Amino acid sequence: MDVLKIATAGSVDDGKSTLIGRLLYDTKSLTTDKLEAIEKKSKANGFDYLDFSLATDGLVAEREQGITIDVAHIYFSTAKKSYIIADTPGHVEYTRNMVTGASTSQASIILVDARKGVVEQTYRHFFINDLLRVEDIVVAVNKMDLVDYNEEAFNKIVSDFGALTQKQQFKAQRITFVPISALKGDNVVNASTEMPWYDGETLLEHLEQLNPSQVEEVGARFPVQTVIRPKQDQYHDFRGYAGKVSGGALAVGDAVTVLPSGRNSVIKDILFYNASFTKVDAGNSCTITLEDDVNVSRGDILVKSAQAPSLTKELQATVCWMDNNALVPGTKYLVQQGTAQILGKVKSINSVVHTDFSGVDATDKLVLNDIGKVTIQLSKQVLNDQFLDNKQTGSFILIDTQSHATAGVGFIGS
């Protein structure tokens, strides 16, 4: 069964958690004890309706404040598809969490309050989805019940959002608008009887027909996670390389190059546990053996020789800063690309980006939640894959050398 990864975004109180709770409730994905807990808590809070946000806000602070703080991942399935939803926070100060949630998503739902329209956070969330090249965006105009299901209110938001799309860089992005009421259940799973003027799909109907996995990236990449040497009599000479394929398929007989060493070989076998395959598609993990006894270690990347990227010791990238300590020139970090970790030094910070698409400003530092253009000098060569062409190897994380915490996430060439 296909799996669709989705991120939600929206300002505080736009109803992200309520929407997810409604999806779970209407698809009968809530367990009996969870539903009973929601009913009990909703009554205790004096509500005359089910507070579906309780289905996702797991932290005590989230329940107390009625906001989302951490990224929560929610799983549910329908007869057609399985879903993983990253429920990300709406506050400006949790922008890093929003980037984390959207970075692995194939689609995003951006909620807009029908009463408030397109606001500053809408710009920010749309900018991040544009930066991360999320292929499908659903703009869910929520709380339509609070504007009497007015068609003009919906059309005004569609028109305002249209002006926003004129500024985006990722022109291939597909954007769909759905008027909903997460609280009342209108157009979430079931079609609304309150908006006869809308003849489009419900939110779930639209998600059911999305198939972003059809989009191919530029070239197959296989970051080696570990080298398998059983050292048993039965497999005395076995040497396999385990990892996960991204960007495109690999097949037995493909000529491959080991990067960064540049050694060449040919794929001899593709294994998963004790089964042998002739081909492996992107997104799948496997073990690969080679015809030649070339030197391959964890952190190396196998690529098709005909699709080998250039290498570089200087990255030009867009970085979202996630650390309380500011990013300043001269600071050293571990740069992790795939499974490889290389020591790097921030050479320069070129600009900070305005997430309302209004441009950039010169700066000499990035603070928490800033997004900026930087240059990073590396101690060894890495793949110069552009994020636009290959999301996995076109991105990296910066790791604090002292605390080993993730300090930032970067996108090459974005």
Could you report the per-residue pLDDT of 347-406, keeping only the tens digit for each?
A: 999 999 998 888 899 999 999 989 999 999 999 999 999 998 888 899 999 999 999 999
d(CA 104, CA 88): 12
Which of residues 326 and 60 earns the better pLDDT score? Answer: 326
- The pTM (predicted TM-score) of the whole model is 0.81
Written as six digits, the tokens of 148 are 């009497």
pLDDT the model gives residue 206: 96
pLDDT the model gives residue 292: 92
pLDDT the model gives residue 60: 46
pLDDT the model gives residue 214: 53
Average pLDDT over residues 170-190: 93
pLDDT surpasses 90 at 237: no
Which of residues 284 and 121 earns the better pLDDT score? Answer: 284
The residue ranges of DSSP E strands in 78-202, in sequence order, are 82-87, 107-113, 136-142, 174-179
pLDDT the model gives residue 403: 93
- What's domain 3-209's superfamily in CATH? P-loop containing nucleotide triphosphate hydrolases (3.40.50.300)
pLDDT surpasses 70 at 213: no
Are 126 and 112 contacting, i.e. CB atoms less than 8 angstroms apart?
no
pLDDT the model gives residue 355: 84
Written as six digits, the tokens of 373 are 């253009």
Which of residues 277 and 122 earns the better pLDDT score? Answer: 277
Q: What is the DSSP string of 51-90?
A: -GGGGT--SHHHHHHTS--S-EEEEEE-SS-EEEEEE---
d(CA 20, CA 22): 5
Q: What is the DSSP string of 243-276?
A: EE-BSS-EETT-EEEEETTTEEEEEEEEEETTEE
Are 211 and 146 contacting, i.e. CB atoms less than 8 angstroms apart?
no
pLDDT the model gives residue 166: 87
Select 311-412's CATH number: 1.20.1250.20, 3.40.190.10, 2.60.40.10, 2.40.30.10: 2.40.30.10
CA 2 to chain centre: 17
Band of pLDDT at residue 62, cut at 50, 70 and 90: very low
Q: For residue 348, what are the CA distances in angstroms to 18, 225, 410?
A: 43, 31, 14
DSSP 183: T
pLDDT the model gives residue 376: 97
Are 113 and 11 contacting, i.e. CB atoms less than 8 angstroms apart?
yes
pLDDT surpasses 60 at 59: no
Are 105 and 5 contacting, i.e. CB atoms less than 8 angstroms apart?
yes
pLDDT the model gives residue 171: 85
d(CA 307, CA 166): 33
Average pLDDT over residues 73-80: 88
Does domain 221-304 fall under CATH 2.40.110.10? My reply is no
Average pLDDT over residues 30-53: 80
Average pLDDT over residues 264-284: 93
Phi and psi based region of residue 404 (left: phi greater than 0; alpha: psi -120 to 50; beta: remaining): left
pLDDT surpasses 50 at 69: no
pLDDT the model gives residue 150: 97
What percent of the chain is predicted at pLDDT more than 90?
Answer: 60
Band of pLDDT at residue 89, cut at 50, 70 and 90: low
- CATH 2.40.30.10 occupies which residues in the chain? 221-304, 311-412
Band of pLDDT at residue 337, cut at 50, 70 and 90: very high
Range with the largest mean pLDDT of 47-51, 85-89, 135-139, 163-167: 135-139
pLDDT surpasses 90 at 29: no
What is the overall mean pLDDT for the chain? 88
- CATH 3.40.50.300 occupies which residues in the chain? 3-209
